[in-house]
Amino acid sequence: MTEAERNYYERRAPEYDDWYLGTGLFAARVRPGWHAELEALRAVLGSLSIAPALDVACGTGFLTQHLPGRVIGVDQSLAMLQIARERLVGGCVIQGDALRLPFHSGTFACLVAGHFYGHLEGEARGRFLAEARRVAGQLLVIDAALRDDVSPEEVQPRVLQDGSRHVVYKRYFTPAQLISELGHGRVLHAGRWFVAVLA
């Protein structure tokens, strides 16, 4: 992660959940079925038997808190982790690098990556997948679904409430594409807004 990306996520932490909740700068966005689909995704997460789990790039823990059993959240942003720490009752958070995870091989039943894989460019994808497979028996990837109104791959301008401007690399996925990249897997959720694959 570059210094610019670190700065972006540190600044975004207090308003990160606005994207999920449809508040703040996202209040005016028209996203038909968004909240119902988010609830369906939460239900899927809560039904899994994947403990102990490691949530990489856990952010504020918005999705992490719905994972059952013991969960450890990892993120590079201290501001994100401060929020996640309050949500993960019975779990813990650690500042760390997703491409160099500070855990022994085979430590976790599952590694979870929510809205992280789609931000990785080029060889970083391979490095992340190798690390995920090293530390966990399974990999759960949750990301943005490919829709007609977005390109499969974009460089997006992002503006925060403080007026700061940032640029973020972003990809969108069909379930089949995500399974192909992961090498195998089964679809846990496939909607207009989200896709989740367990590999």
Structural domain containing residue 167: 3-198
Do the strands 71-75 and 53-56 form a parallel or antiparallel pair, or are they unpaired? parallel
pLDDT tens digits for range 43-74: 999 999 999 999 999 999 999 999 999 999 99
What order do you get walking across the sheet with 53-56 strand by strand?
92-95, 71-75, 53-56, 108-114, 136-144, 194-198, 186-190
- Angle ∠(53,86,13) on CA atoms, nearest 5: 90
What CATH number corresponds to the domain at position 108? 3.40.50.150
Helix (H) or strand (E) holding 144: strand 136-144
| Sign of the torsion formed by the C-alpha atoms of 2, 103, 197 and 27 | negative
Q: Which pLDDT tens digits describe the chain residue by residue (199 residues)? A: 677 788 888 889 999 999 999 998 899 899 999 999 999 999 999 999 999 999 999 999 999 999 999 999 999 999 999 999 999 887 799 999 999 999 999 999 999 999 999 999 989 999 999 999 999 999 999 999 999 999 999 999 999 999 989 999 999 999 999 999 999 999 999 999 999 999 9
Number of domains in the chain: 1
